[in-house]
A and B are shown apart, each in its own frame.
Chain A
């Protein structure tokens, strides 16, 4: 059969598509349904996300750039920045170590109480931050279980830096482990077995095989817990005592400024946290793409 004898009058699929909106394919909604769905989503996003976001910067810059920068020229602000960085700087590495250890144990070994451990790791997600703060007041406060003993030894935890660090650790507890467990489970432990059979010791196996395989997921967890540690309000608010220049973190500092009707300064500091959030979002999206690739590869090599 010669190709030239074939009928040539058949239209190409492209020409069907440009024929008009009435001729939609079987899997498409009609035009107005599509516009309605997209439109309502956009309206909702604008009202709930974009307008407030823009409002932060508009409010912060209402009295000009000079007033904006003047808000940062304040010892209480800098002490809040320092405290926020301190709390983050301690809680993120602490949770990094804990998260890696826990997910390694959970993903690569079988032991009793494994599901209990997984549930416990999720606890901070389930509990309201205020309640998490109160737990520490109950434990370490003046009237709490350990309070009398602590005060007799001159150790202050509540209304002081240690309490803030503890509360921050608690609320950022699950991020790293939650990220690592599914990926490590997907990857299995065959590569570790191979490393050990080639003579690697435990540390070499961990640092040369396990860790490189999860580095993107680990970074993702670290970024999320950093963002949460910098922005945590509820739990920290309960344990901090709001002592200006001493126990105020950035979010608490914003609250104080706002309650004093110092709107420009409040929003100026808020804009910093917002910028941090935007950077976090960009990093998070990039990493999600890389982690997805790791997961697909792990699934492929099965």
Chain B
């Protein structure tokens, strides 16, 4: 609890002298990584209790089951992304953490913030900062009044003085780089500016946790990218435990310390961006994150076979042969004109396109499965691949999943 207090003191009184700039131009070069701060935080995480701990949460709306016995722990100071397609339950989980939605009554269900049971507390009592998807700014108040709202509605005994409120709002507005817009109304701001006002307003009440519902969902791609990197840097500065809901994998993988992939009202997998991207535990995560080529093979006695290829698959050692799905990422291939004797499969190039950071080669195998391969541009130009020619594909990596019987 003590360390939490100091965090907020830091937020309120010692806002970073140089607020991170979010503009796209400045971004590329000024994206600072803070190794000392990072390790500091790592230590903090080891010492501190769970910041948010939800256990056995279910939620049904009429006959629709939005969450099915979901449990999740979030460390202090962590930025976690809830990632999933629409209808996966991620926003419902966020709203339940916030207290905007009540979970289905269930004896095992609990919501704890810093080891305190908050499941009976209202959203106001939970001290969360909630950033709404459509910002939900108070349309009849200026930017300043919007940010000051959370302080003004406090009970007299805890309400800061007028001067304190003004100081804090001004600091927050300069933190989100909107100091010069304090007298404007929300309708006079752009989407990205509104989003930052919403963030400042949520931070003004010194929340224990910051919850963001699709924070960049309504913005165009350029603004999104800038704001996303800016949010990450803001998090580096103020270290507030944050949960962000998004359906954009790129956003989740780039911004979050930890990604929680949700599907069908359940958590599919959680882990660092690297873990979920490179070690997908389920077929859904494999398909949802990044691009994949899907092949249909067989597994038997600890081996998966796909044409000439065999991949070790110790998870299934049965003699009985079963169908399996084999995934290969587009960048995990080697293309050769001549066979080098190793297992490969031939494919015919149908289209190439190299206007981008990598060259993309579209191919078709003998059994008419389409394959996408991504090559570094120099390798692509060395090979001088022609559309229509047949080449050999050497997979560098493959992941095998046995489709569950029920599906």
Q: A residues bordering B, Cβ < 8 Å?
A: 190-191, 193-201, 204, 208-209, 212-213, 297-298, 300-302
Q: Assess whether A197 is in contact with B153, with CB atoms less than 8 Å apart.
A: no
Residues of chain B with a CB closer than 8 A to A213's CB: 139-140
Contact, CB under 8 Å: B138 / A191? yes
Asked whether B134 lies within 8 Å of A190 as measured between CB atoms, the reply is: yes
Q: Are B132 and A190 neighbours in the complex by a CB distance under 8 Å?
A: yes
Neighbouring B residues of A197 by C-beta, 8 Å: 98-100, 123-124, 128-130, 202
**Shortest beta-carbon distance, B188 to chain A, in Å?**
11
**Residues of A with C-beta under 8 A to B149:** 195, 198, 200, 208
- A194: chain B residues within 8 A (beta carbon): 130, 132, 136-138, 201
Q: Given the interface contacts A194-B130, A208-B149, does A199 sit within 8 Å of B140 by beta carbon?
A: no
Q: When chains A and B are docked, how far (Å) is the Cα of A207 from the Cα of B186? A: 19
Beyond contacts A197-B202, A301-B134, A301-B139: 13 other A-B pairs, Cβ-Cβ < 8 A, are A194-B132, A196-B123, A197-B100, A197-B123, A197-B129, A198-B202, A198-B205, A200-B149, A200-B153, A201-B124, A201-B153, A204-B153, A301-B186
Interface code B180-213, partner A: CB below 8 Å = 1, 0 otherwise? 0000001100000000000001101100000000
Q: State in angstroms the CA–CA spacing of A302 and B139 once bound together.
A: 12
Sample of 30 A–B contacts (CB below 8 Å): A190-B132, A191-B139, A193-B132, A193-B136, A194-B132, A194-B136, A194-B138, A194-B201, A196-B122, A196-B123, A197-B128, A197-B130, A197-B202, A198-B149, A198-B153, A198-B201, A198-B205, A199-B124, A199-B154, A199-B205, A200-B149, A200-B153, A201-B153, A204-B153, A208-B138, A209-B138, A213-B139, A213-B140, A297-B187, A302-B134
Q: Can you name the residue of chain A whose Cβ is closest to the Cβ of B123?
A: A197
B127 cross-chain contacts in A, Cβ below 8 A: 199
How far is the CB of B48 from the nearest CB of chain A, in Å? 24
Q: With A200-B124, A297-B187 as given contacts, are A195 and B100 in contact (CB-CB < 8 Å)?
A: no
One digit per residue, 1 when the CB lies within 8 angstroms of any chain A CB and 0 when it does not, for chain B 116-158 equals 0000001110011110101111111000000001100110000
Closest 3 CB pairs of A and B: A198-B150, A190-B136, A194-B136
**Distance of A196 Cα from B202 Cα, bound (Å):** 11
How far apart are A89's CB and chain B's nearest CB, in angstroms? 29
Q: Are B140 and A195 in contact (CB under 8 A)?
A: no
User: Please, what's the 1-or-0 string for B244-261, where 1 marks a CB less than 8 Å from any CB in chain A?
Assistant: 000000000000000000
Would you give the shortest CB distance from A116 to chain B, in whole angstroms? Answer: 20
Select the residue from A204, A301, A302 with max chain B CB neighbours within 10 A. Answer: A301
Question: Are A195's CB and B138's CB within 8 A?
Answer: yes
Chain B 53-92: CB-based contact to A (< 8 A → 1; otherwise 0): 0000000000000000000000000000000000000000
The size bracket of the interface on B is 20 to 34
B99 shortest CB reach to chain A, Å = 8
The answer to whether A199 and B139 touch across the interface, beta carbons within 8 angstroms, is no
Q: Which residues of B contact A212 (CB under 8 A)?
A: 140
CB neighbours of A301 from chain B (8 A): 134-135, 137, 139, 186-187
Q: Nearest Cβ in chain A — how far from B219, in angstroms?
A: 14
Q: Which residue of B lies closest to A191 (CB)?
A: B136
Given contacts A193-B100, A204-B153, A208-B149, contact A198 B124 (CB under 8 A): yes
Q: Which residues of B contact A191 (CB under 8 A)?
A: 136-139
Taking the nearest CB of chain B, how far is it from the CB of A25, in angstroms? 35
Q: Which residues does chain B contribute within 8 Å of A297, judged by CB atoms? A: 139, 187
Q: A213 to nearest B CB, angstroms?
A: 6
A200 to B201 CA separation, bound complex (whole angstroms): 13
Q: What residue in chain B is nearest A200 (Cβ atoms)? A: B153
Across the interface, which residues of A come within 8 angstroms of B187, CB to CB?
297, 300-301
Shortest distance between the CB of A122 and any CB in chain B (Å): 28
Return the chain A residue nearest B153 by Cβ. Answer: A200
- Chain A contacts for B150, CB-based, 8 A: 198-200
Given the complex of chains A and B, what is the CA–CA distance between A300 and B100 in angstroms? 24
Interchain CA distance A213-B138 in the complex, whole Å = 8
Contacts of B205 in A (CB 8 A): 198-199
Report the Cα distance A209→B145, complex, angstroms: 12
Q: CA separation between A76 and B137, bound complex, in Å?
A: 54
Q: CA of A200 to CA of B187 in the docked complex: distance in angstroms?
A: 23
Which B residues are CB-close (under 8 A) to A193? 100, 123, 130, 132, 136
Least distance between B286 CB and chain A CB atoms (Å):
35
Contacts of B124 on A, CB cut-off 8 Å? 196-201
Evaluate contact between A199 and B153: CB separation under 8 angstroms: yes
Looking across the interface, which residue of chain A has its beta carbon closest to that of B145?
A208
Between B99, B134, B138, B204, the greatest number of chain A beta carbons within 10 A of the residue's beta carbon is seen for B138
CB distance from B169 to the nearest CB of A (A): 13
How far, in whole Å, are A159 and B132 apart by their CA atoms in the complex?
Answer: 56
| Complex alpha-carbon distance, A170 and B130, angstroms | 43
Task: Write out the residue numbers on chain A whose beta carbons fall within 8 Å of the beta carbon of B132.
Answer: 190, 193-194
CB nearest to A212 among chain B residues: B140
- Please indicate the chain B residues that have their CB under 8 angstroms from the CB of A198 in the complex: 124, 149-150, 153, 201-202, 204-205
Q: Which residue of A lies closest to B100 (CB)?
A: A193
A190 to B186, CA, bound (A): 15
Tell me which residues across on chain A come within 8 A of B204, comparing CB atoms.
198
Give Cα A199–Cα B122 distance, bound, in whole angstroms: 9
Q: Distance (Å) between the CB of B232 and the closest chain A CB?
A: 23
In the complex, A198→B150 CA distance in Å? 5
Complex-state Cα separation, A212 to B140, whole angstroms:
7
Contacts of B123 in A (CB 8 A): 193, 196-197
Cβ contacts under 8 Å, A204 to chain B: 153
CA of A193 to CA of B95, assembled, Å: 11
Cα–Cα distance between A194 and B136 once the two chains are bound (Å) = 7
Name the distance in Å between B102's Cβ and chain A's nearest Cβ: 14
**Which residues of B have CB within 8 Å of A196?**
122-124
Q: In the complex, which residue of chain B has the Cβ closest to the Cβ of A296?
A: B187
Least Cβ–Cβ distance between A206 and chain B, in angstroms: 12
* Max chain A Cβ within 10 angstroms of own Cβ: one of B98, B134, B140, B202: B140
B122 / chain A contacts, CB cutoff of 8 Å: 196
* Bound CA span A298–B140, Å: 11
**A residues near B154, Cβ cutoff 8 Å:** 199
Give Cα A200–Cα B148 distance, bound, in whole angstroms. Answer: 12
